[in-house]
Structure 1
Amino acid sequence: MSCDRFLLILKCWHFANNLEDSGEDKLFKIRTILRPLVNSFQEYIIPGKNLIIDESMIHWRGVLDFASIHIKNKKHKYGVKLYKLCCVSGYILNFKIYTGKGDSSCGVGHAEAVINILMNPYFGIGRPPFCDNFYTTLNVAENILKNKTNRRCYPKSMNSKKLKKGEVYALQKGNVKVIKWMDKRPVSMLSTCSNHNATLIEIGKTQRNGDAVKKPLCVLDYNNTKKGVDFRLVK
């Protein structure tokens, strides 16, 4: 097949009937592809205990009916934002394409809406999702706990607590724990995992003065689980 022939077929390739488009779904033209993809991911991939939620960019500099955004610290700085749920091995289990400011559930914050959509197939089975500070709210943590799973975030209430390097401080409200640990800079976590506390664990390394390097278990769990997303960025 010639290149011109291929490009012509690609240009005319449609997955939906434009006459059925009500204009309410900004992803209408590819919705019939997205559903089977996600269903296949969840049918054939059996994730481990921990899951990770993060964002990626699909490179795009063209015109779209919805938001094309710019994130300076991503590999592809311009494009379409993709929220994804991954397992530790790097496989995608679920994803959501960001289509603009109105893209959230009524009465629910955007971060909480994203988590509810991505985690919905995995609520009630005890698989904790890990995420960064974008999803940091107590309401989100309590909602995740209510659905019998776990996660952590970044609480503003800990900002005023001053710690020396290596010190750790923790607060607890119900089953939600706030943990702040001083590394080279403050590291704050919000967790609903029962085994996360202010105890420091040796990681098998030593400092220049010979003292063992220690970190909270919640930090170790987050770093290990985050590899599932970082793995996808490796060529």
Structure 2
Amino acid sequence: MCGLLLSKPDKPMSSQIVMILMKPLLDKGYCLITDNFHTSLELAEWLISHSSDTYGTLRRTRRGIPKELETKKLKRGEVAAFGKGKVMVLRWKDKKEVTLLSNVHTNEMRTVEKRSKCLVKPALVIDYNHTMGGVDQHLSDYPLPRNRSKKY
């Protein structure tokens, strides 16, 4: 396994792991949703070259992110989006700023009703929360055992 990981030393280790795990699913039209640890421009471009789609949260410090996106100040509800080929990087501010990458979405905004309020959010944020929110909810179904040590 270690020999496979070192086969692409120019790619981040997190991207190399995803590349290995995705090998059997490439060129079949799957869409990969990732969190900010695994998402990168290099991975997105590699997946596009293998007929696969991707979207997910992105760390603003990743290589290849436009500097304008990093420095632009956003007010609540504002969006900044930049495209590179088929890949779009979007930054949106609600309570906190969130940066996302997608080759499936545009910077389209949708209205969502939550607790009798109408909120306007990017379609990318809505889809990401819908798919990844389930992962976080199911983790609570598996309680972790507590290590109780005896005190003398």
TM-score by length of 2: 0.75
| Structure 1 contact 206–213 (Cα < 8 Å) conserved | no
Query: In the alignment, which residue of structure 2 is the partner of 1:118?
Result: 21
Q: 2:143 matched to 1:143?
A: no
Query: In the alignment, which residue of structure 1 is the partner of 2:124?
Result: 218
Moved more, 171-180 or 152-161: 152-161
Q: 1:116 Cα shift?
A: 0.9
Q: Tell me, which stretches of 5 or more residues in structure 2 are unaligned?
A: 142-152
Query: In the alignment, which residue of structure 2 is the partner of 1:105?
Result: 6
3-state SS, counterpart of residue 170 of structure 1: strand
Q: Distance in 1 between matches of 2:134 and 2:114?
A: 23
User: Which of 181, 197, 206 lines up with 2:106 in the alignment?
Assistant: 197
Match runs of 1:20-39 below 5 Å? none
Q: Distance in 2 between matches of 1:228 and 1:186?
A: 21
Query: In the alignment, which residue of structure 1 is the partner of 2:98?
Result: 187
Q: 1:229 Cα shift?
A: 2.5
Query: In the alignment, which residue of structure 2 is the partner of 1:127?
Result: 30
| Structure 1 contact 151–192 (Cα < 8 Å) conserved | yes
Q: 1:103 Cα shift?
A: 8.0
Query: Can you list the C-alpha shifts for 1:165-197, whole angstroms capped at 9, x where unaligned?
Result: 01111111100101111110111111111xx12
Q: 1:215 Cα shift?
A: 1.0
Q: 1:227 Cα shift?
A: 3.5
Q: 2:140 matched to 1:234?
A: yes
Query: Can you list the C-alpha shifts for 1:113-162, whole angstroms capped at 9, x where unaligned?
Result: 11112211211122111111112321111011111111234243322111
TM-score by length of 1: 0.50
Query: Can you list the C-alpha shifts for 1:20-65, whole angstroms capped at 9, x where unaligned?
Result: xxxxx7xxxxxxxxxxxxxxxxxxxxxxxxxxxxxxxxxxxxxxxx
Change (3 A) 1:165 1:134: same
Q: Distance in 1 between matches of 2:5 and 2:37?
A: 15
Count of residues paired in the alignment = 131
Query: In the alignment, which residue of structure 2 is the partner of 1:21?
Result: none
3-state SS, counterpart of residue 184 of structure 1: coil
Q: 1:206 Cα shift?
A: 6.4
Which consecutive segments of 4 or more residues in structure 1 shift more than 3 A?
none
Q: Distance in 2 between matches of 1:205 and 1:233?
A: 24
Q: 1:228 Cα shift?
A: 4.5
Q: Distance in 2 between matches of 1:174 and 1:122?
A: 23
Q: Tell me, which stretches of 5 or more residues in structure 1 are unaligned?
A: 1-24, 26-98
